[in-house]
Amino acid sequence: MTTTSDAGSGEVFIPSVHLPALARRPALGEVETALGLLARALRIEGDEHVWVAAPDVASDEQDSGAAETDEAPERDASAAFELRHAQTWLTGCVRSGLAWCFARDDDGDAAAAALDKAAALLSVCAGKSASGAVTRIYHVPTPNGAEVAVSVRDATLSADALGSRTWGSAPLLARRLLSPLEAALRHSSQLRILELGAGTGLVGLALALYSQRLGIAAQVALTDYHPDVLSNLQFNASLNALSEPSTLVRRLDWQDDYAGASHAHETQTEEQRVAQTARDTWPSLESGSWDALVAADCCYEHDHALWLRAVASQRLSRAFVHESDSREGAGADLHGGLYILNALRQTHAHEAAAILAVFPLVDPRASSSGGALALRTVRTQDLRAQDDFGPPSMRTDVPLHGDDTVRRPLATQSGQATLFRAFEIRWCQVDD
């Protein structure tokens, strides 16, 4: 097995080769060095850089698995082997308690720190959802060949605050919307964008940063309903030097728009209690129309599509009606669109289908210039890309010695191959 880097710059770290055998009771310094190398290989030492790759447009052939390259199975098997080896080694560290290191460490502090680090790395090996807080810098390509770098802190995931982590749809939607955002500049120097269920805010932050670069006087509102998610959203806005009035962080509970009023309960469920806490501590999004609405991986319960329609009905501008908009290039920019991108996970197939049930595909034959306005899906596209909520992939370019400078990885994104569906929804005139 070769241990030289792909760039030919020297020997690189391979867990199965370079992790010291615990049976020989390695010195504390050797264990600390190995843990440091593993931390970098697992992308948790310092900021993790993620280059957002262009997704494949899915086809029947791709869905059947025919698109997989000959090298992919061998590469994936090798990465999985190295990850299992790292997990086994870390498990050995935790089970042994590194007792021999404590025996050699005068005060035990260094040995305790090493043991804590081994336990933390072991949790990372279980998957992104099991790891602690980490900062990632997403490099989103722009239409002119440059990129927007968006810093995002993923907080610790909890069952009732799923937005604390960046899901696979967000980087894809961010990349997908930069071209329509640039096209919007041809028609207006101002733009109001509302991100729904923003989570860590990656999509809205990318749009806000690119708007600044283009010289668009855009206002972007990052919204969610959970107080913990809102706190992390505010942190991420500040992390990217974005603040009011151009970038807002606001509470928006879709159920409020669906019900037409805030909920008041004498006896509250835990979910209702969390929502009430957000109402008490975070400013709500004021009423008013927005030029574009964006939502990444937000429809994972049956009622979400219904709630989303209520939000869009009240907040998406009706100034841009599909096939009635006379502007040059109308329909190719952000104005007037609700953009949804969802992962088509088997566990949520019914919920994904609910989007088209609530926002039916527009029928060109049934369109009417004098019909009533209704929200309709004007186009969909299936995409194949990576969703990294499973076991992590390990870097293969960590130098065994010397500085570990940030380099563009060979594989721009890691994770499990996943099918995603993009929806573009607009106001359409339809017959009653």
Model confidence pLDDT, tens digit, residues 176-210: 999 999 998 777 778 999 999 999 999 999 999 99
What is the rounded distance in angstroms from the CA atom of residue 386 to the CA atom of residue 77?
17
Instruction: Tell me what the pLDDT averaged over the chain comes to.
Output: 82
Q: Do the domain assignments include residue 88?
A: no
Q: Do the domain assignments include residue 394?
A: yes
pLDDT at 131: 60
Mean of the pLDDT values across residues 355-381?
84
Which of 43-47, 86-90, 397-401 holds the top average pLDDT? 86-90
User: Which band of pLDDT confidence, cut at 50, 70 and 90, is reported for residue 77?
Assistant: confident
Instruction: Determine which of 123-132, 160-169, 405-414 has the lowest per-residue pLDDT on average.
Output: 405-414
Instruction: Determine which of 67-81, 144-158, 201-215 has the lowest per-residue pLDDT on average.
Output: 67-81
Q: What is the pLDDT of residues 48-63, one digit of tens each?
A: 788 898 999 876 444 4
What is the rounded distance in angstroms from the CA atom of residue 60 to the CA atom of residue 136?
33
What is the rounded distance in angstroms from the CA atom of residue 52 to the CA atom of residue 383?
14
User: Which band of pLDDT confidence, cut at 50, 70 and 90, is reported for residue 73?
Assistant: low
Total domains present in the chain:
1
The whole domain housing 345 covers 129-133+160-430
Q: Do the domain assignments include residue 356?
A: yes
Mean of the pLDDT values across residues 336-357?
85
- Of residues 267 and 218, more confidence is placed in 218
Mean of the pLDDT values across residues 12-40?
93
pLDDT at 47: 67
DSSP-derived secondary structure for 79-141? HHHHHHHHHHHHHHHHHHTTHHHHHH-SSSHHHHHHHHHHHHHHHHHT-GGGS--EEEEEEEE
Instruction: Determine which of 253-262, 372-381, 408-417 has the lowest per-residue pLDDT on average.
Output: 408-417
Q: Do the domain assignments include residue 99?
A: no
Q: Do the domain assignments include residue 14?
A: no
Largest CA distance in the chain: 84
Closest-CA residue to 331 (of 376, 383, 384): 376
- Of residues 195 and 393, more confidence is placed in 195
Instruction: Determine which of 138-152, 164-178, 319-333 has the lowest per-residue pLDDT on average.
Output: 319-333
Neighbouring C-alpha atoms within 13 Å toward the C-beta of 277: 13
CATH number of the domain that residue 197 is part of: 3.40.50.150
Q: What percent of the chain stands above pLDDT 70?
A: 75
pLDDT at 44: 73
Q: What is the pLDDT of residues 285-295, one digit of tens each?
A: 888 899 999 99
pLDDT at 60: 46
Is 409's pLDDT higher than 50? no
Residue 211: which residues within 8 A CB-CB, separation 6 or more? 181, 191, 217, 218, 220
What is the rounded distance in angstroms from the CA atom of residue 35 to the CA atom of residue 118?
7
What is the rounded distance in angstroms from the CA atom of residue 11 to the CA atom of residue 5?
6
pLDDT at 265: 44
Positive or negative torsion for Cα 123, 127, 128, 130: negative
Q: Do the domain assignments include residue 377?
A: yes
Is 145's pLDDT higher than 60? yes
- Of residues 126 and 73, more confidence is placed in 126
Which of 126-130, 168-172, 212-216, 285-289 holds the top average pLDDT? 168-172
Mean of the pLDDT values across residues 23-52?
87
Residue 353: which residues within 8 A CB-CB, separation 6 or more? none
Is 67's pLDDT higher than 50? no
Mean of the pLDDT values across residues 244-270?
76
Neighbouring C-alpha atoms within 13 Å toward the C-beta of 414: 22
Q: Do the domain assignments include residue 375?
A: yes
Q: Do the domain assignments include residue 13?
A: no
DSSP-derived secondary structure for 394-412? PPS--BSSS-------SSS
